[in-house]
């Protein structure tokens, strides 16, 4: 699958459920869904090195709006929020090759042939704290800043604007990775989204969206968190 931070054409990504063996895998549903400032849901595990791996979603706001095409088979929404990965412990500063994923699960009873989910994003913000303690922040407007503590903050368009189209399954859950496997080194990374526009066409019956975030380390340990489902 191509990196999700690059512009993509039509693609299909389906999730029915999978069993992962040989790695630490965990998930949790917390939070109250539509909009609370700060941390909305989080989950953590401890790996074999004694590091705590934590994945967080916060500032989540999913607003469902009437679809512009007025079709009874269409849904439309806007999303703001962030996903943050944190690694703390004896080996956290030396962590390399970790991956952060931020996306949605969309559920519905039945889909019409040709149904799809379309996501339009602005350029997305990305921040990662490197092993030397410097915070490298990457967001749409390019510039270079130095603070009084000699911490360097680099601002740039690292995850460009994109248009994702994912085909719906006949019925069930469709996985839509907004940003997939964004690699980072060091103890922390954050993806922040604002003004993401999504539309679902061809869904029959109640349709629900659930945002999720995933942290995977280079050793294959995985921790996930799921936000509360939001009716569309």
Between CA 137 and CA 135 the distance in angstroms is 6
pLDDT per position as a tens digit, 195-224 = 899 999 999 999 999 999 999 999 999 999
196 within a domain of the structure (yes/no): yes
Buried b (16+ CB within 10 A) or exposed e, 21-44: eeebbeeeeebebeeeeebbbbbb
Max CA pair span of the chain: 58
Q: Give the pLDDT band (50/70/90) at residue 60.
A: very high
Three-state secondary-structure class, residue 175: strand
Residue found by looking up tokens 């050793």 in the block: 219
- Residue-averaged pLDDT of the chain: 76
pLDDT per position as a tens digit, 12-42 = 333 323 222 223 333 333 333 343 348 999 9
Q: Return the CATH number at 83.
A: 2.60.40.1650
Between CA 55 and CA 8 the distance in angstroms is 26
Residue found by looking up tokens 């339009």 in the block: 120
180 within a domain of the structure (yes/no): yes
Q: Are 116 and 174 in contact (CB under 8 A)?
A: no
Query: In sequence order, what are the beta bridge partners of 86?
Result: 54, 188
Three-state secondary-structure class, residue 215: strand
pTM above 0.85, yes or no: no
Please count the structural domains in the chain.
1
61 within a domain of the structure (yes/no): yes
- Phi and psi at 94, nearest 5°, equal -100, 5
2 within a domain of the structure (yes/no): no
4 within a domain of the structure (yes/no): no
204 within a domain of the structure (yes/no): yes
Between CA 83 and CA 120 the distance in angstroms is 18
3 within a domain of the structure (yes/no): no
5 within a domain of the structure (yes/no): no
pLDDT per position as a tens digit, 106-128 = 999 999 999 999 999 876 677 77
């Amino acid at each position: 699958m191509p990196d999700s931070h690059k512009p993509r054409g039509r693609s299909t990504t389906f999730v029915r459920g999978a069993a992962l063996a040989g790695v630490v895998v965990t998930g949790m549903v917390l939070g109250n869904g539509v909009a609370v400032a700060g941390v909305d849901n989080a989950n953590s595990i401890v790996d074999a090195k004694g590091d705590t791996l934590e994945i967080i979603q916060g500032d989540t706001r999913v607003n469902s709006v009437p679809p512009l095409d007025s079709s009874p088979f269409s849904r439309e929404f806007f999303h703001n929020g962030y996903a943050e990965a944190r690694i703390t412990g004896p080996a956290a500063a030396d962590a390399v090759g970790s991956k952060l994923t931020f996306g949605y699960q969309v559920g519905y009873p039945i889909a019409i042939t040709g149904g799809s989910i379309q996501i339009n994003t602005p350029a997305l913000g990305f921040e990662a704290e490197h092993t030397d303690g410097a915070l490298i922040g990457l967001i749409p407007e390019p510039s270079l800043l130095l603070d009084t503590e000699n911490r360097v903050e680099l601002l740039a368009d690292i995850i460009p604007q994109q248009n994702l189209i994912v085909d719906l399954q006949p019925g069930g859950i469709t996985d839509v990775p907004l940003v997939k496997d964004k690699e980072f080194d060091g103890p922390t990374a954050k993806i922040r989204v604002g003004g993401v526009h999504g539309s679902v066409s061809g869904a029959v019956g109640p349709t629900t969206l659930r945002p999720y975030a995933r942290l995977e380390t280079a050793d294959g340990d995985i921790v996930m968190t799921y936000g509360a489902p939001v009716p569309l």
